[in-house]
C-alpha cells in the first residue's frame, strides 16, 4: 500500500462519527476519506471512495452491521473493524468476516475513551495489512481427515496435551481447527486474545459447534480428554500437573507481551509442565505474543505447528515464532486439524 490507509467511518451517531474522524486523522498512517450514517449510505460511499479499511458500528437503523457484513464481504472483502459494546454482536461480526472488533468506551469511565481511540487506531492500521477471511460457509471445503474417518486412531498417552494460541482472526481460525476433532482427543487449552465478558460467550459458541466439550477457564479446572478450556478474558491461563494429571490455574496478573491472557504465559507453562508430551499450535495474530513461549516449548521436544502466511488474517505471531525457530511445521489453516490427528495417531 502506498501512502496512508484510506478509512471510511460508519456510525449512525454524528457525534461519534466526528470523534472517530478526528482521532483517526491524527495518525499519519491513516486518512479518513469519508463517513456514512448507515449501511445503505456506506454501500454508496464504498463505491465512490474505495476505502482500504472500514470502521463499523453494529447497532444502526435500516440494516444492522452484521447484515451489512454478510452482504459486503463475499462480494467486496474490505477489512472491517467493528465497534460495539455487545459481546454477541462482536462474535457474530467476526463470523461474518470482520477482521477484529473494539469495545465501545463506557460513559463516565476515566481514560476509557482515550484507550478506546488508541486501540482503534492500532487495529485500523493492522487491518489495512490484513487478509480478509470470507465466511467459511461461502468457501468450498474439502473433507478433512477427521470427517473421512469414523473413529480416528488416537494413540496419545494420558500425558498428552494440546495448546493453541491466537489473536487477530483467531476466533474463526480456532473453530476451523477444533470443530471436528473427535471426542477422544486429548485435553486442549486455548488462549485467544479477548476482553472479559467475551470469552464465555465464545466458549459457549464453540461448545455448540464442536464434538469436544468446551468451557471458559475457571481456576483449578482439570484438563480432561475430550474437553477444551478457553482462557478467560483478563486472566492468565497456566498449565499445572499433580498425581491426578493436568489442571489449570486461571489468575489475574499484569499484561505479558502486551496481553492478559497471554499466549506466551500459557506456552511457557506447557513447556515446563508437559514438555515433549505437548502439541503446540500458534495461529493468526498481530504482534509476537506466543512466539517466545512456543519456541521454548519446541526446544523441549514438543511438536509445534504454525499457521502459514497465506491462510493467516495477520501473519504476525506465527511469523515471529517461525523466525525464532520455534515451529516444527508451517501449514495452511485447513490442514492443521489433520496434522494434529496424524501426530496423535503416532504418539505413544
- Known active-site residue 193: yes
Instruction: Judge whether residue 55 has pLDDT over 60.
Output: yes
Catalytic residue among 23, 35, 144, 167: 167
Instruction: Identify the pLDDT of residue 45.
Output: 97
Instruction: Identify the pLDDT of residue 138.
Output: 42
List, for residues 323-337, the tens digit of each pLDDT value. Answer: 999 999 999 999 999
Mean pLDDT of all residues in 217-221: 98
List, for residues 251-291, the tens digit of each pLDDT value. Answer: 999 999 999 999 999 999 999 999 999 999 999 999 999 99
Residue spans per domain, the chain: 5-137, 147-346
Instruction: Identify the pLDDT of residue 157.
Output: 66
pLDDT above 70 coverage of the chain, percent: 92
Instruction: Identify the pLDDT of residue 48.
Output: 96
Distance of alpha carbon 107 from the chain centroid: 27
C-alpha span between 297 and 299 (Å, rounded): 5
Count of CB atoms within 10 A of residue 102's CB? Answer: 22
Q: What is the pTM of this model?
A: 0.92
Mean pLDDT of all residues in 118-131: 96
C-alpha span between 204 and 230 (Å, rounded): 10
Judge whether 317 and 289 are in contact, CB under 8 Å.
yes
Instruction: Identify the pLDDT of residue 144.
Output: 56
Instruction: Identify the pLDDT of residue 234.
Output: 97
List, for residues 67-118, the tens digit of each pLDDT value. Answer: 999 999 999 999 999 999 889 999 999 999 999 999 988 766 657 889 999 9
Instruction: Identify the pLDDT of residue 143.
Output: 53
Catalytic residue among 193, 227, 236, 298: 193
Tell the CATH superfamily of the 5-137 domain. Answer: Response regulator (3.40.50.2300)
pLDDT above 90 coverage of the chain, percent: 84
- Known active-site residue 289: yes
Among 3.40.50.620, 3.40.50.11540, 3.40.605.10, 3.40.50.180, what is the CATH number of 147-346?
3.40.50.180
Instruction: Identify the pLDDT of residue 60.
Output: 87
Catalytic residue among 27, 52, 92, 289: 289
Instruction: Judge whether residue 152 has pLDDT over 80.
Output: no
Instruction: Identify the pLDDT of residue 133.
Output: 80
Instruction: Identify the pLDDT of residue 108.
Output: 61
Could you tell me which of 50, 73, 69 has the C-alpha nearest to residue 58? 69
- Known active-site residue 144: no
Amino acid at each position: 500500500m502506498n501512502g496512508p490507509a484510506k478509512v471510511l467511518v460508519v456510525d449512525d451517531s454524528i457525534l461519534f462519527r466526528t470523534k472517530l474522524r478526528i482521532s483517526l486523522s491524527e495518525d499519519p498512517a491513516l486518512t479518513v476519506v469519508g463517513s456514512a450514517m448507515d449501511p445503505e449510505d456506506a454501500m454508496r460511499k464504498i463505491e465512490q471512495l474505495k476505502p482500504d479499511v472500514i470502521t463499523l458500528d453494529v447497532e444502526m437503523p435500516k440494516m444492522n452491521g452484521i447484515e451489512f457484513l454478510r452482504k459486503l464481504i463475499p462480494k467486496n472483502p474490505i477489512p472491517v473493524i467493528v465497534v460495539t459494546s455487545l459481546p454477541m454482536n462482536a462474535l457474530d461480526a467476526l463470523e461474518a468476516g470482520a477482521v477484529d472488533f473494539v469495545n465501545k468506551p463506557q460513559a463516565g469511565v476515566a481514560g476509557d475513551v482515550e484507550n478506546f481511540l488508541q486501540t482503534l487506531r492500532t487495529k485500523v492500521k493492522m487491518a489495512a495489512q490484513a487478509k480478509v477471511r470470507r465466511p467459511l460457509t461461502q468457501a468450498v471445503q474439502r473433507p478433512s481427515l477427521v470427517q473421512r474417518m469414523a473413529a480416528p486412531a488416537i494413540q496419545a498417552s494420558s500425558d498428552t496435551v494440546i495448546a493453541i494460541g491466537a489473536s487477530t482472526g483467531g476466533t474463526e481460525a480456532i473453530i476451523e481447527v477444533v470443530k471436528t476433532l473427535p471426542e477422544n482427543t486429548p485435553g486442549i487449552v486455548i488462549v485467544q486474545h479477548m476482553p472479559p465478558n467475551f470469552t464465555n460467550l465464545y466458549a459457549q459458541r464453540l461448545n455448540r459447534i464442536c464434538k469436544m466439550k468446551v468451557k471458559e477457564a475457571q481456576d483449578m479446572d482439570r484438563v480432561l480428554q475430550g474437553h477444551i478450556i478457553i482462557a478467560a478474558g483478563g486472566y492468565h491461563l497456566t498449565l499445572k500437573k499433580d498425581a491426578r494429571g493436568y489442571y489449570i490455574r486461571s489468575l489475574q496478573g499484569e499484561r505479558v507481551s502486551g496481553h492478559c491472557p497471554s499466549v506466551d504465559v500459557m506456552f511457557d507453562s506447557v513447556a515446563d509442565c508437559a514438555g515433549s508430551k505437548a502439541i503446540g499450535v500458534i495461529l493468526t495474530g498481530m504482534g509476537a505474543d506466543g512466539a517466545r513461549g512456543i519456541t521454548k516449548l519446541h526446544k523441549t521436544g514438543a511438536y509445534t505447528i504454525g499457521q502459514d502466511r497465506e491462510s493467516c488474517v495477520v501473519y504476525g505471531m506465527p511469523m515471529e515464532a517461525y523466525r525464532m525457530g520455534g515451529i516444527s511445521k508451517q501449514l495452511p489453516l485447513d490442514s492443521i486439524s489433520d496434522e494434529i490427528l496424524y501426530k496423535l495417531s503416532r504418539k505413544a
